[in-house]
Amino acid sequence: MEKLIIFSAPSGSGKTTVVKHLLSVMESTLAFSVSATTRSPRPGELNGREYHFLQLEDFRQKIKDGEFLEHEEVYAGILYGTLWSEVRKIWSEGKAVVFDVDVKGGLNLKRQFGDQALAVFLRPPSVDVLMERLTKRSTEVEHQLKERIAKANYELSFESQYDTVIVNDKLEETFVNCEKLVSDFLSES
């Protein structure tokens, strides 16, 4: 069966770190779905590796052409989405698709794929810890940081709609818990 593993979390909760870890230890069974976005690349990000960086007009055209499995305006004027071509390529390699997506995108994928998908909500131990992580990351200016924290509070309200919630308090424990969760899901027929 073609399977999907969805990781969603407020920004700064560690989902990208967890997904990268899973991909490194389960590379024969998992592959990452590179999302498309209209935001600008951050330092060190490459087109096609972290994201497919698209102009807003190109993104909107792909929506019209039905090229997206799901898409969402995550922040004002900044769109993210999953291209069907990415998913089909991974399935053709006999692997499960791993997503690192926003909360709404994750729920859209879960609704579309039901039991084919495992939806994992990764939450920080507290909003204070989340604020600390975002501040240390310092990729945002002050007003963006406030916007992300407000959005995080909103996103936390969706966790009950996910198949499972993992609190990312101690990273090594989170890795172990996620490895077991994903392995168990992939071994189900």
CATH code, domain carrying 119: 3.40.50.300
- How far is it, in rounded angstroms, from Cα 167 to Cα 153? 15
Q: Is the pLDDT of residue 141 over 80?
A: no
Q: Which domain holds residue 178?
A: 4-187
Q: Is the pLDDT of residue 6 over 80?
A: yes
Quick one: CA dihedral 147, 14, 107, 4, positive or negative? Answer: positive
Contact between 146 and 88 (Cβ < 8 Å)? no
Contact between 37 and 79 (Cβ < 8 Å)? yes
Q: Is the pLDDT of residue 140 over 60?
A: no
- Number of domains the chain contains: 1
pLDDT per residue over 97-122, tens digit each? 999 888 888 998 999 999 999 999 99
Query: pLDDT-derived band of residue 147, with 50, 70 and 90 as boundaries?
Result: confident
Q: Is the pLDDT of residue 18 over 90?
A: yes
**Residue 13 carries which DSSP code?**
S
- pLDDT for 127 equals 73
